[in-house]
Structure 1
Amino acid sequence: MTSTPVFRPAVEADLEAIVAMLADDILGQQRENTSLPLAQSYLEAFAAIEADPNQYLAVVELNGAVVGTLQITYMPGLSHQGAWRGEIESVRIASSARGSGLGRLMIQWAVEQCRQRQCRIVQLTSDRARTDAHRFYEQLGFTASHKGFKLTL
């Protein structure tokens, strides 16, 4: 990586780049709508995330361009003696920046954000089809400790 990545909170002007990254794979192509103007649902979701102090939607810039995104949700819980958890979601890197080590920096940055919020657990989920991502997360010290379930409504 030739320049220093800049991590910052996302702003509404970043939404087009974020949605484009979410759509830039086989799973995202089926779920996301990149047509402009963006659907109102994206704007409403962004507003809800921005208003919630337990949400952090981040972007990563290189040379002034948004090339990465992720979301951290901070969750209080009673288990583990009242431990807070950080849940990392929607980790995406623009195709132009893949393979540069940016993903590793992003996850390390997100884990540090969780440490600063006194989280004792950092967790994430990854679609079963993303086997390369699973190896990547395991290399970073994450373990596949649970089996997850979802119900689409």
Structure 2
Amino acid sequence: MQCTNPSHHIFEPIEALAESLKVIAVSLPYRPLEDSERRFVTPKFYAKPDGSPFGAIALTEGTETILPKMPQNEYAVDGKRVPDWKMVLVSTTKDSIIGDCDYQKALKKLEKHTLDSNENTILIKGLSLDELEAIVE
């Protein structure tokens, strides 16, 4: 599955996700953030056309974010694991969702932006608009 631009593939419920995100600006020069200043993701769940669920996790421009490496092993809907995951890329500059893509493919592209990681999570630095757009390409 390729990353998609929202003009080609829109999940309407995800649009509401952008409105509920807490955005934390990281000022320059960089300083390490306290855990309370980092964004721990809260996945949202939606139904595909066939009714099966998929999970969506947002990555917001300029926000250090702690992402699960394998969300399919951590979250369930109605007691069943959710195998399909998308990463939704949100721009504060454009005040919109700039795209979504397969979660694992996005994580691979984000490796170069890793500040820290452990067995289950990865800490991603706050990305610029250009860096976010490169994830969608």
Under a length normalisation based on structure 1, what TM-score does the superposition of the two structures give?
0.32
Greater strand share, structure number: 2
Higher helix share: 1
Answer 1 or 2: higher relative contact order, Cα 8 Å, separation at least 6: 2
Q: Which has the larger radius of gyration?
A: 1
